[in-house]
């Protein structure tokens, strides 16, 4: 069964890539295999439309004196033949960096996934300038950068005594969101709070508390 | 199997010889041996690899050749590999028979229209030329009447034209494509919709400076004699407000408070032989003498020109320089002729 699945994946990909030529366009593997495992979407396949729909959100016009809303662009590169676990390290590295800095840093990462991330950022940068009214392409920073597990193709490995083991060939999808402006000083930690800030936080917690059996 | 293992053995002996000959131990590659469940002898590497069932993994980022670029032999192998029959290419060409593809005998607006007064000599000359052209227009109005006996230019048509003009803008602002196609022909629709995706447009029609008037009437047959189209060019001189915001609500073009005088020559078209035909906006005439529209305030990187054939010295070569460039404001805004 797994051999058939693999075959179908390869063939379908090749057919779909040149889809115009074939009148009865074969869409997914689910056409051939109707079992539940084939119908199930991967984690990344579910996330892609959810993530990219932010590119079509239209905000209301800003009033005069209002702070200029920073532009952002969401982009992804799907089905990269690389382990999502390994890609995680590279995705974390560039988080909260300016685009130029991220591209420089990625040039020094000797891992298979780095060029894919680099390409994704460059594409997103171009999209931002072309479609999202960003004036300067260097004035962007990596606001989100994460990786999700995509399809896994199962292979087989021979063991002793007529036994077999499963081999997983993993694919991953990389997501990035670039935001206009300068990167924050601390991406993960907002820094030590001052006295009034701490007081404000304490007051807020008091206001949010729930008094049971009250009105 | 035998030659393979022999090759592995040869490789191994070569490695050991190399290791003996090396003088500095720093060059020797350190191989991790602890905690690795592999045999130390590379002779078995090939055998270990044979345990895996061969899997053809799809590469989703491979740049594939299109069939037009392939040689006939490559095309043959491509179809053989995939086990499918080549199919014919599906090509469709769309024809819209409810609108014409062009403007017949396009009206040329007089130079300096909206600015030159009829009292001076240039204005008087223009008036005279207009009178000559009017005769052809009246002949064409008669032709429209042969299909539509109650047709009157003033005030029936001109009121309708004004209504269509305003409603087309209002539906454009709302982004209602179904509605806008009622007021705009298939030829003008892509022009009207270009560059408006994810943008917020605020448009207001304040008043007419001069009452709209018909400048030009033309009828033409397409393919057969019965298939008649009528086109009427209407001159609108009005005051409008236009502000275009981008996806994030930031002002891109125009202003919310600044009213501008707009002079436009709009071509309306109707498929007169069709009893259900309607008057729709077909084109806007932009004369050659009109000054360029206000550009969008944006900085662009000037593309470097391709290097000339002579060799350029290093001193002459210059990097990219950011410069201000003017870009037309696209098809969204009304064309401003006078200010």
pLDDT at B122: 62
Substitution target from A12, A80, A133 for chain B, most B beta carbons within 10 A? A133
What is this structure's pTM? 0.73
Say if CB A122 and CB A59 are below 8 A apart.
Answer: no
pLDDT at A6: 43
Kindly state whether residue A104 falls inside one of the protein's structural domains.
yes
To the nearest whole percent, how much of chain B has pLDDT over 90? Answer: 39
Kindly state whether residue A201 falls inside one of the protein's structural domains.
no
A130 → chain B, closest CA residue = B300
Lowest mean pLDDT among A18-32, B34-48, B163-177: A18-32
What is chain A's mean pLDDT, rounded? 85
Separation of alpha carbons B85 and A90, rounded Å: 44
Which residues of chain A neighbour B252 with C-beta distances below 8 Å? 133
Say if CB A91 and CB A146 are below 8 A apart.
Answer: yes
The yes-or-no verdict on residue B11 having pLDDT over 70 is: no
Residue B53 and residue A157: Cβ atoms within 8 Å? yes
Kindly state whether residue A100 falls inside one of the protein's structural domains.
yes
Residue A59 and residue B59: Cβ atoms within 8 Å? no
Residue B60 and residue A81: Cβ atoms within 8 Å? yes
pLDDT at A185: 87
Kindly state whether residue A211 falls inside one of the protein's structural domains.
no
The residue ranking higher by pLDDT, B28 or A2, is B28
CA B277: distance to chain centroid?
A: 28
- H/E stretch holding A148 reads strand A140-158
Burial of A21 (0-12, 13-18, 19+ CB in 10 A): middle
Q: How far is CA A112 from CA A78, A80, A89, A174, B61, in A?
A: 15, 10, 12, 13, 13
Say if CB B231 and CB B244 are below 8 A apart.
Answer: no
Q: What are phi and psi of A84, to 5 degrees?
A: -60, -30
To the nearest whole percent, how much of chain A has pLDDT over 90? Answer: 72
pLDDT at B119: 61
A13 → chain B, closest CA residue = B58
- pLDDT class for B117, splitting at 50, 70, 90? low
- pLDDT class for B324, splitting at 50, 70, 90? very low
Taking alpha carbons only, the member of A102, A83, A104 closest to residue A143 is A102
The residue ranking higher by pLDDT, B67 or B117, is B67
pLDDT at B327: 42
Residue B89 and residue A20: Cβ atoms within 8 Å? yes
The yes-or-no verdict on residue A95 having pLDDT over 70 is: yes
pLDDT at A122: 97
What is chain B's mean pLDDT, rounded? 80
pLDDT at A71: 96
B250 → closest Cβ in A21, A69, A167: A69
- CATH number, domain of A154, equals 3.90.470.10
- pLDDT class for A33, splitting at 50, 70, 90? low
Residues in B whose CB is inside 8 Å of some CB of A read 51-53, 55-61, 64, 66-67, 81-84, 86-87, 89-90, 198-200, 202, 243, 245-252, 298-299
Q: Does A11 touch chain B (CB under 8 A)?
A: yes
pLDDT at B81: 87
pLDDT at B10: 53
The yes-or-no verdict on residue B303 having pLDDT over 60 is: yes
Kindly state whether residue A87 falls inside one of the protein's structural domains.
yes
The residue ranking higher by pLDDT, B31 or B330, is B31
Could you give the number of structural domains in chain A?
1
pLDDT at A141: 97
Kindly state whether residue A213 falls inside one of the protein's structural domains.
no
Closest chain B C-alpha to A104 CA, distance in angstroms? 20
Which residues of chain A neighbour B49 with C-beta distances below 8 Å? none
CATH number at B128-285? 3.10.450.240
Which residues of chain A neighbour B247 with C-beta distances below 8 Å? 57-59, 71, 132-133
Separation of alpha carbons B265 and B236, rounded Å: 6
Kindly state whether residue A129 falls inside one of the protein's structural domains.
yes
Residue A158 and residue B250: Cβ atoms within 8 Å? no
Name residues whose C-beta falls within 8 Å of residue B111's C-beta, 6 or more positions apart in sequence: B287, B289
Structural domain harbouring A95: 70-182
pLDDT tens-digit series, residues B257-295: 999 999 999 999 999 999 899 999 999 998 888 888 777
Average pLDDT (A99-128) is 96
Kindly state whether residue A204 falls inside one of the protein's structural domains.
no
Q: Which A residues 122-161 touch B at CB under 8 Å? A: 131-133, 135-136, 153, 155-159
The yes-or-no verdict on residue A11 having pLDDT over 70 is: no
Residue A58 and residue B198: Cβ atoms within 8 Å? yes
- pLDDT class for A2, splitting at 50, 70, 90? very low
pLDDT at B226: 87
A155 → closest Cβ in B52, B59, B81: B52
DSSP string, A15-39: HHHTGGG-SS----GGGT--SHHHH
The residue ranking higher by pLDDT, B56 or B338, is B56
Lowest mean pLDDT among B7-16, B87-96, B278-287: B7-16
Closest chain B C-alpha to A141 CA, distance in angstroms? 17
Residue A61 and residue B251: Cβ atoms within 8 Å? yes
């Amino acid at each position: 069964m797994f051999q058939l699945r693999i075959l179908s994946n390869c063939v379908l990909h090749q057919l779909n890539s040149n889809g115009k030529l074939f009148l009865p366009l074969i869409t997914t593997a689910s056409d051939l295999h109707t079992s539940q495992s084939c119908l199930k979407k991967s984690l990344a396949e579910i996330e892609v439309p959810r993530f990219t729909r932010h590119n079509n959100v239209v905000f209301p016009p800003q009033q005069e004196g209002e702070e200029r809303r920073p532009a952002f662009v969401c982009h992804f590169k799907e089905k990269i033949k690389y382990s999502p676990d390994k890609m995680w390290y590279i995705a974390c590295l560039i988080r909260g960096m300016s685009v130029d800095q991220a591209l420089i840093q990625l040039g020094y990462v000797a891992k298979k996934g780095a060029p894919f991330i680099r390409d994704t950022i460059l594409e997103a940068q171009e999209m931002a300038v072309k479609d999202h009214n960003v004036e300067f392409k260097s004035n962007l920073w990596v606001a989100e950068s994460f990786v999700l597990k995509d399809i896994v193709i199962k292979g087989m490995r021979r063991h002793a005594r007529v036994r077999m083991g499963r081999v997983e060939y993993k694919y991953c999808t990389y997501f990035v969101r670039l935001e206009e402006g300068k990167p924050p000083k601390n991406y993960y930690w907002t820094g030590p709070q001052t006295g009034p800030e701490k007081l404000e936080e304490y007051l807020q917690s008091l206001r949010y508390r729930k008094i049971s059996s009250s009105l | 199997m035998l030659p393979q293992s022999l090759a592995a053995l040869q490789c191994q002996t070569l490695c050991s010889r190399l290791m003996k000959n090396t003088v500095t131990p720093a060059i020797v590659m350190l191989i991790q041996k602890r905690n690795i469940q592999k045999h130390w002898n590379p002779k078995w590497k090939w055998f270990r690899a044979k345990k895996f069932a061969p899997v053809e993994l799809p590469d989703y980022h491979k740049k594939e050749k299109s069939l037009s670029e392939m040689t006939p032999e490559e095309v043959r192998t491509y179809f053989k590999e995939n086990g499918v029959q080549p199919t014919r290419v599906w090509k469709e060409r769309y024809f819209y028979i409810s609108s014409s593809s062009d403007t017949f005998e396009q009206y040329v607006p007089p130079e300096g229209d909206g600015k030159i007064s009829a009292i001076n000599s240039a204005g008087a000359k223009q008036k005279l030329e207009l009178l000559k052209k009017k005769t052809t227009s009246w002949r064409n109005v008669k032709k429209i009447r042969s299909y539509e006996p109650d047709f009157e230019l003033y005030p029936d048509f001109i009121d309708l034209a004004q209504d269509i003009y305003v409603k087309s803008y209002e539906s454009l602002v709302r982004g209602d494509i179904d509605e806008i196609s009622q007021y705009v022909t298939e030829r003008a629709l892509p022009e009207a919709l270009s560059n408006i995706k994810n943008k917020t447009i605020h448009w207001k029609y304040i008043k007419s400076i001069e009452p709209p008037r018909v400048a030009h009437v033309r009828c033409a047959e397409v393919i057969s004699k019965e298939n008649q189209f009528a086109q009427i060019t209407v001159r609108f001189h009005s005051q409008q407000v236009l502000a275009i915001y981008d996806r994030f609500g930031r002002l891109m073009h125009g202003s919310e408070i600044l009213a501008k005088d707009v002079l436009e020559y709009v071509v309306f078209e109707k498929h007169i032989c069709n009893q259900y035909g309607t008057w729709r906006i077909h084109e806007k005439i932009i004369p050659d003498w009109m000054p360029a529209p206000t550009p969008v305030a944006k900085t662009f990187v000037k593309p470097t020109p391709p290097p000339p054939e002579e060799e350029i010295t290093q001193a002459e070569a210059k990097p990219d320089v950011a410069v201000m460039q003017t870009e037309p404001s696209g098809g969204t805004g009304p064309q401003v002729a006078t200010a």
